[in-house]
C-alpha cells in the first residue's frame, strides 16, 4: 500500500514542488522546540493597604516585590443577613466593581472598567469563559456557605490587564518601582429586589509570581535593560462616554431604534466593542444585561468603513486560521448575555500579537451607528445605555536606571 502511494506521489507536480521548497520539514527529524527556563512559582495573598469597602469607595493594594507577575485574581466574599437576601442574578460582579486601576509609583498606567471586563470576557474561548462563568459570573442562590447569622457567596474575578496577555510583557515587580492596584466599588449591595446591605469579610488579591535562577535572571535583566529604556508594545482599554437613549412607551413590538456614537478617541484602535444595556425599573439585572444589536455601521471621513448586521456580527471574531468563533457565553436567559456584545474587529482575534489597528487621529468625524429592536414597553419609558469600548495599542516604557514603569506612547 505504501509503495503505491509513494509511487503516485513521485509523479505529482504539486507534491514534488512542495517537497523542494525551503518550507518542507520532516516532523520525524528530532528537534527540540522552544523550552522555557525552569523557574519557581509562588502564590501570594495580598491584603489591602488602605481604603475601604463601601458604595463608591476605593480600596488599595500594594503589590509585593516577589518576582514576575503572571496572574492576578480578585477574591471577595459577600455576606448576607438572611438566605432570601443571598440570591444574586448572573453578572453581579459588574454591579459590584466600577473599575480597577494598575498604578506604578502612584500613577495610573492601565484601567479595567466594568465594561472593559465585559468586553474581555466576551472575547474568551469557550474553555476560558467556563472558568470565569463558574467563579465570577453565574447566578447565586441561597445555597451559599452558611455563616454565623447569614450566607456567603465567594467571587473570584481575573484581573487580566493587557500586559498579562503576552508573556514577554508581564511585569517584573522585583525590578520595577512599587506597583499598586486600586479598586473603585460601585454598589456593595445585593443586586436583587431588596438591595439588602451586605458585608465583605474577605477581600484580597491572589497573585501568582514566577522567579528564575540567578543565572537566568541576570541574563534576562541584561537583555531587557542594556539600553537606557525598555519599550514594550502592549494594549489598554479606552471607554467612550456612555450615551443614554430614552424611548417613550409604545404598544408595538420590534420597532427599530438607532443612535449615533461620535468617537472622541484619537488612538490606534485594534477593536471596538459596543455594549447595549437595557435598563429595567423592576429588575436590577437589567443594569448589566446586554441587549441584542441588530446592526452596527462604522463611518469616517464621509465614507462607510463597514456595516455589520446581526448575522455578520456572529462572524466578527475572525481567528488566525480563517474561521470565526462565537462561543456559547450566555449565563442565563435573563443574565449577562455577553454574546450580545457587538464587536468591530480590525485585525485577528488573538491576544498574542498586534495584527492591525486604525489611527483615529487621521479619521475625520469617526462614528458608529447602533441599531436594535425595541419591544413593547406598555406605559413605561425605557432607557438604553450604550458604551463603546476600544482596545488600543500602547507602548509602555521601563527605565533601566530606576525601574520606573509608565505609559510612553498612546498615539
pLDDT tens readout for residues 253-286:
668 899 999 999 999 999 999 999 987 654 444 4
DSSP β-bridge partners for residue 255:
374
Asked if 369 and 260 count as a contact pair (C-beta separation under 8 A), the reply is yes
Q: What's the fold here for domain 39-228?
A: Adenovirus Type 2 Hexon; domain 4 (2.70.9)
Radius of gyration of the chain, Cα coordinates, nearest whole angstrom: 25
Handedness of CA 223, 225, 228, 233 (dihedral sign): positive
What is d(CA 263, CA 90) in angstroms, rounded to the nearest whole number? 30
What is the structure's pLDDT at 303?
95
Class in CATH terms, 235-394: mainly beta
What's the pLDDT tens digit per position in 17-47? 998 998 988 888 888 888 899 999 999 999 9
Q: How far apart are CA 378 and CA 186, in angstroms?
A: 31
In this prediction, residue 330 carries a pLDDT of: 62
For residue 33, the model assigns a pLDDT of 82
Q: What is the pLDDT, as a whole number, of residue 321?
A: 87
Range of 75-84, 177-186, 239-248, 311-320 with top mean pLDDT = 177-186
Q: Give the pLDDT confidence of 352-376 residue by residue, as tens digits.
A: 888 899 999 999 999 999 999 987 7
Domains of the chain, by residue range, sit at 39-228, 235-394
When pLDDT is cut at 50, 70 and 90, the band that residue 3 belongs to is confident
Q: Is the pLDDT of residue 75 over 90?
A: yes
pLDDT band at 197 (very low <50, low <70, confident <90, very high): low
Buried b (16+ CB within 10 A) or exposed e, 224-242: ebeeeebebebbbbbbbee
Instruction: Please give the pLDDT value at position 198.
Output: 73
pLDDT at 403 (0 to 100): 93
The least confident of 66-80, 126-140, 316-330, 339-353 is 316-330
pLDDT at residue 89, as a whole number: 81
Give CA–CA dist 96/336, Å, rounded: 14
Is residue 332 scored above 60 in pLDDT? no
- Mean residue pLDDT of the chain comes to 87
What is the mean pLDDT of the segment spanning 49-64? 93
- % of the chain surpassing 70 pLDDT: 89
Do domains 39-228 and 235-394 share one topology? The answer is no
Percentage of residues of the chain with pLDDT beyond 90: 59
Q: How far is CA 308 from CA 185, 252, 296, 355, in A?
A: 35, 25, 5, 20
Question: CA 17, CA 32: separation in Å to the nearest integer?
Answer: 27
Burial class (CB in 10 A: 0-12, 13-18, 19+), 61: buried
The percent helix, strand, coil of the chain (3-state, each to 5) is 20, 40, 40
Q: Is 17 helix (H, G, I), strand (E, B) or coil?
A: helix
The whole-number average pLDDT for the span 2-24 is 89
Looking at residue 177, what is its pLDDT? Answer: 94
* Helix (H), strand (E) at residue 94: helix 92-96
Supply the pLDDT for residue 196.
61
Report residue 205 CA to chain centroid gap.
18
Mean pLDDT to the nearest integer, 384-404: 95
- The span from the CA of 299 to the CA of 363, in Å, is 9
Say if residue 291's pLDDT is above 80: yes
Cα(180)–Cα(65) distance, rounded to whole angstroms?
11
Which pLDDT score is estimated for 191? Answer: 55
pLDDT band at 377 (very low <50, low <70, confident <90, very high): low
Check residue 285 and give its pLDDT: 46
Q: Tell me which residue of 88, 93, 90 sits closest to 289, measured CA to CA.
A: 90
Residue 307, pLDDT > 90, answer yes
For the cut 90, the answer to whether the pLDDT of residue 100 exceeds it is: yes
At residue 90, the pLDDT reads 84
Mean pLDDT of the 293-303 span: 95
Q: Write down the pLDDT at residue 243.
A: 95
What mean pLDDT is predicted for residues 70-93? Answer: 86
Ramachandran quadrant class, 294 (left: phi over 0; alpha: psi -120 to 50; beta: rest): alpha
Residues 6+ apart with CB under 8 A from 7: none
- Long-range pairs of 348-352 with CB within 8 A, sequence gap ≥ 24: 348/318, 348/319, 348/320, 349/123, 349/317, 349/318, 349/319, 349/320, 349/324, 349/325, 350/319, 350/320, 351/123, 351/165, 351/166, 352/165, 352/166
- Segment 235-252 mean pLDDT: 86
**Lowest mean pLDDT across 193-207, 210-224, 281-295:** 281-295
CA dihedral 125, 127, 130, 132 (to 10 degrees): -60
Region of residue 350 (phi > 0: left; psi between -120 and 50: alpha; otherwise: beta): beta
Segment 131-169, tens digit of pLDDT:
999 899 988 877 555 555 557 889 999 999 999 999 999
Rounded Cα distance between 287 and 210, Å, is 39
User: All 3 cell numbers of residue 32?
Assistant: 527540540
Distance CA 289, CA 295 (A): 18
pLDDT attached to residue 375: 79
CB of 368 closer than 8 Å to CB of 298: yes
Q: In this model, does residue 174 exceed pLDDT 70?
A: yes
C-alpha cell at 221: 535583566
Amino acid at each position: 500500500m505504501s509503495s503505491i502511494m509513494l509511487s503516485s506521489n513521485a509523479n505529482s507536480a504539486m507534491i514534488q514542488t512542495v517537497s523542494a521548497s525551503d518550507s518542507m520539514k520532516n516532523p520525524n527529524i528530532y528537534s527540540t522546540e522552544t523550552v522555557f527556563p525552569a523557574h519557581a512559582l509562588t502564590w501570594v495573598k495580598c491584603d489591602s493597604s488602605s481604603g475601604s469597602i463601601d458604595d463608591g469607595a476605593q480600596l488599595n493594594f500594594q503589590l509585593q516585590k516577589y518576582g514576575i507577575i503572571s496572574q492576578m485574581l480578585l477574591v471577595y466574599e459577600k455576606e448576607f443577613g438572611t438566605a432570601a437576601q443571598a440570591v444574586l442574578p448572573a453578572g453581579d460582579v459588574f454591579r459590584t466593581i466600577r473599575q480597577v486601576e494598575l498604578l506604578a509609583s502612584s500613577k495610573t498606567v492601565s484601567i479595567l472598567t466594568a465594561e472593559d471586563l465585559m468586553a474581555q470576557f466576551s472575547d474568551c474561548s469557550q474553555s476560558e469563559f467556563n472558568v470565569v462563568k463558574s467563579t465570577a459570573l453565574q447566578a447565586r442562590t441561597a445555597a451559599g456557605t452558611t455563616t454565623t447569622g447569614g450566607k456567603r457567596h465567594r467571587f473570584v474575578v481575573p484581573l487580566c490587564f493587557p500586559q498579562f496577555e503576552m508573556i514577554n510583557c508581564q511585569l517584573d515587580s522585583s525590578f520595577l518601582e512599587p506597583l499598586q492596584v486600586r479598586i473603585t466599588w460601585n454598589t456593595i449591595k445585593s443586586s436583587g429586589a431588596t438591595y439588602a446591605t451586605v458585608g465583605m469579610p474577605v477581600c484580597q488579591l491572589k497573585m501568582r509570581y514566577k522567579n528564575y535562577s540567578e543565572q537566568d535572571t541576570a541574563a534576562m535583566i541584561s537583555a531587557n535593560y542594556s539600553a537606557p529604556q525598555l519599550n514594550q508594545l502592549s494594549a489598554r482599554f479606552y471607554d467612550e462616554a456612555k450615551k443614554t437613549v430614552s424611548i417613550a412607551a409604545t404598544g408595538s413590538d420590534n420597532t427599530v431604534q438607532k443612535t449615533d456614537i461620535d468617537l472622541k478617541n484619537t488612538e490606534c484602535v485594534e477593536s471596538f466593542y459596543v455594549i447595549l444595556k437595557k435598563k429595567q425599573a423592576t429588575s436590577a439585572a437589567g443594569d448589566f444585561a446586554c441587549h441584542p444589536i441588530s446592526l452596527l455601521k462604522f463611518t469616517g471621513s464621509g465614507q462607510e468603513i463597514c456595516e455589520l448586521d446581526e448575522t455578520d456580527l456572529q462572524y466578527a471574531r475572525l481567528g488566525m486560521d480563517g474561521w470565526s468563533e462565537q462561543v456559547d457565553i450566555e449565563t442565563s436567559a435573563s443574565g449577562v448575555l455577553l454574546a450580545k456584545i457587538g464587536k468591530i474587529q480590525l485585525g485577528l482575534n488573538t491576544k498574542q500579537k498586534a495584527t492591525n489597528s486604525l489611527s483615529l487621529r487621521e479619521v475625520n468625524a469617526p462614528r458608529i451607528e447602533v441599531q436594535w429592536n425595541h419591544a413593547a414597553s406598555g406605559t413605561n419609558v425605557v432607557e438604553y445605555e450604550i458604551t463603546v469600548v476600544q482596545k488600543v495599542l500602547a507602548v509602555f516604557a521601563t527605565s533601566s536606571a530606576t525601574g520606573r514603569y509608565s505609559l510612553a506612547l498612546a498615539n
